[in-house]
Amino acid sequence: MPETSAPSTSRRLLSLLTVLQSRRDWSAAALAGRLDVSERTIRRDVDRLRELGYDIDATRGPAGGYRLRAGAHLPPVAFDADQAVAVAVALRVAASAGGPLADAADEALSVLSRLLPAPLGRRAQRFAVEVIAPAGAVGVDPSVLGAIEAAIEAAEEVRFDYSGSEGPARVTEPHHLVWSSGRWYLIGFTPERADWRIYRVDRMTLKTHRGRPFPRRALPGGDPVRYLEGRFRGGDATGRWPCRGEIVVAAERDDLAPYVGDGSLLATDDGRTRVSLGSWSWGALAAECLRFDRPIADARPDALRAALVEAARRAEAAAAS
């Protein structure tokens, strides 16, 4: 077949390598059709890839084709745009999750980020906006993530139906995609309410047509991750708990360390520990203070002391009944 274009050899080789990596076996005719070149060009380019160290098997005959095998060493790997973004997001997840490969994942992400063209680098950064501890991931159609990311990049509204709610389609100005505890969330400004809203992406069914352009806005606090954490906790854009207090617990600091979560500990001179904790309400904070099963004292502030008195009253009433 005649070749309809004449891309550079290097670009053509990278395209061929990307296609060969995508599945186990390819016929020469299928490769030629996929890359819009002749089968003769495919044969020449396969030979060039072999010279570069890629182990490519060939089978002869009418049904002959090519297979890229794992080699004895790691050769260069080629990705298309979507694959490169997916790898960058996966590396960010691995680097943020900790464990023995966290440092290697962070180094690999640095290498990939330097090599990505600027538009892909922005896409990867947008997708992987500071990951929060992944766990029990909920599946999301990659095309939905891609459409939202494209709308963020173009500063265009998205229209969507939201499962579990009735009424007309919703409209929001998308600003940030954030991965948190196994789910993707969209942080957007909703003009109808003149306020910021958070949407679970797995509950969104996007409308197909493009939305209107909008002016970019500054997220309160400036940090999407802290903003999401703060909203989850019922607090503000800083990510802090809305109710914070402290107590002194009759226990050594090391004995309490495994049980304080994101709280802080300060050893006192008499062998006790001052514990600072946060929660979504004063009642919940009082319950947190009582779970240590050790004598406590010097509760601060007054709101926490009042919550402890109320917790004691309710416990006494429950015991009496």
pLDDT for res 131: 46
Give the bridge partners for 58, in sequence order: 66
Q: How many residues does the chain have?
A: 321
Q: Which of 278, 274, 232 shows the shortest CA–CA distance to 253?
A: 274
Pull the structure tokens for residue 50.
């072999």
pLDDT at 29 over 50: yes
Q: Which of 278, 259, 275, 258 shows the shortest CA–CA distance to 267?
A: 275
pLDDT at 133 over 50: no
Between residues 96 and 193, the one the model is more confident about: 193
Where in the chain are the domains? 9-69, 79-128, 129-240, 243-320
Between residues 31 and 71, the one the model is more confident about: 31
Q: Supply the angle between the helices 81-97 and 142-154 in degrees, to the nearest 10.
A: 100
Question: Could you give the CA distance from residue 244 to residue 87 in angstroms, rounded to a whole number?
Answer: 39
Give the bridge partners for 184, in sequence order: 179
**Which residues lie below 8 Å from residue 222, measured CB to CB, with a gap of 6+?**
none
| Mean predicted confidence (pLDDT) in 177-189 | 85
Give the pLDDT confidence of 228-253 residue by residue, as tens digits: 877 776 665 555 777 889 999 999 98
Question: Could you give the CA distance from residue 295 to residue 300 in angstroms, rounded to a whole number?
Answer: 15
- From the options 3.40.630, 3.30.70, 3.30.750, 3.40.50, give the CATH code of 243-320: 3.30.70
Q: Do domains 9-69 and 243-320 have the same CATH topology?
A: no
Question: Could you give the CA distance from residue 274 to residue 301 in angstroms, rounded to a whole number?
Answer: 14
Q: Which residues of 36-48 are buried (b: 16+ CB within 10 A; e: fewer)?
A: ebeeebbeebbee
Pull the structure tokens for residue 186.
């969209």
**Which residues lie below 8 Å from residue 117, measured CB to CB, with a gap of 6+?**
none
- Domain 9-69: give its CATH code: 1.10.10.10
For the chain, give the mean pLDDT: 79
pLDDT for res 135: 46
